[in-house]
Amino acid sequence: MMRKSEYALWTLLVLAVLAAGSTMVSLARSQTASPANSEIYRQLDLFGEVLERVRADYVEKPDDAKLIESAINGMLMALDPHSAYLNPKHFRDMQVQTRGEFGGLGIEVTMENGVVKVVAPIEDTPAAKAGIQSGDLITQLDKEQILGLTLQEAVEKMRGPVNSAITLTVVRKGVEDPFDVKVVRDVIHINPVKYNAEDDVAYIRVTTFNEQTTANLQKAIEDLKKQIGPKLKGYIIDLRNNPGGLLDQAISVSDTFLDEGAIVLTKGRNLEETQRSNARPGDLTDGQKIIVLINGGSASASEIVAGALQDHHRATILGTRSFGKGSVQTIIPLGSNGALRLTTARYYTPSGRSIQAKGIEPEVVVEEELPDDLKAKADQQSTRGEANLRGHLKGEEDDEGGKHEEESGSSAYVAPEKDKDTQLQYALGLLRGNKSVNTDSKKKAEAN
């Protein structure tokens, strides 16, 4: 422990250094600051003044850390719907999730107009079993309003101990009144690839893009080759209601089906940030026919795969228009303070197409047939895409300098029974030669 005299001396020295540093910063500002930087300093001074007023005069003593975190979140939410601050706990949760196992309800969500919007429930999770659907708006958690919470705060409230219950108040398009859904939390084990043989067709469903996706996909292909044998007529890769995930997994999944050529191009604000990912030799499916299924719940990494295979004419894309999320988020660690999830680039398909707020348009448009009890409420299952999210990145001009037409999202309904799954049955028919490809992608394909 320091003696008092030494402590006093060190205190004077520290104060002197701080004063000198403050003077140097002030001189640097006055001598080198550009007009733009001067404006930033002025705004930071304003922020500091407001912060001090709140700390000094608010009716109750505020939590300083919470004030700063909320200010950071507010700044990032003003950029686009996908940028966010991850505090240390949220950062750890995100790392666990990308490994394929995490605790919670099992839904991919975003924030829209102050409430939580379900992008897609994850298959075989508590949320999916409870009937939560793509496009649902969650307005209350255990009867407490979500309005005013950030997305991360809302997600935090939805997580909790395994076997504990939470009541979600849901607003669903086509349903007149909000209704409550009770969901029991569980450990979410994400098996990103499910597969089976449909007689002479290999059916593979990819539910998310985590660290296990490519390895599990390649195992599925090898297993189905052995199981079906020489009568194999092709592959159906089902990306419907797949909300996306890791960029490197989207690239390696695409590479599984390609021998050469670009897979995806990413472009940041500066030219030196442009990157191109290319396929390596080796198509694991040996050139067999491929049909990729997409719908309004297919987003991000799913769209990268669909776009790459579409541009290389390696697969026929079937279903309805995808979500339209054409941006890349980078996780920037902040040491012990968590991480920043920041939109750092747009991505483009191999032909140079941006699908931001536009989506992937299938070659064969097949609307999923709704059951009789939902036909009178046909809009109930529609999913609003990226173009409808507040603050989304605007699409770029086309090659002729014309306006980028924004139109993304579509129905996200998928029939639970395979024999009633219109899109799947049409894909099976195409591979078996019982259906034909509709060359007019704007025209709905016949379902019969």
Pairing state of beta strands 262-267 and 235-238? unpaired
Q: Which amino acid is at 102?
A: F
Pairing state of beta strands 262-267 and 316-319? unpaired
- Angstrom CA distances, 174 to 171, 181, 370, 373, 375, stand at 9, 17, 13, 12, 11
Residues identified as active-site: 300, 311, 325
DSSP state letters, 33-70:
--HHHHHHHHHHHHHHHHHHHHHHHSSS---HHHHHHH
Torsions phi, psi of 157, nearest 5? -70, -30
In the Cβ-directed half-sphere of 4, how many Cα atoms lie within 13 Å? 0
Given a contact cutoff of 8 angstroms between Cβ atoms, the answer to whether 72 and 342 are in contact is no
Does an H or E element contain 75, and which? helix 64-77
**Spatial CA neighbour of 328 closest among 191, 172, 209:** 209
**Spatial CA neighbour of 124 closest among 198, 39, 191, 220:** 191
Residue 398: Cβ within 10 Å count: 12
- Angstrom CA distances, 209 to 122, 244, 264, 330, stand at 12, 6, 16, 15
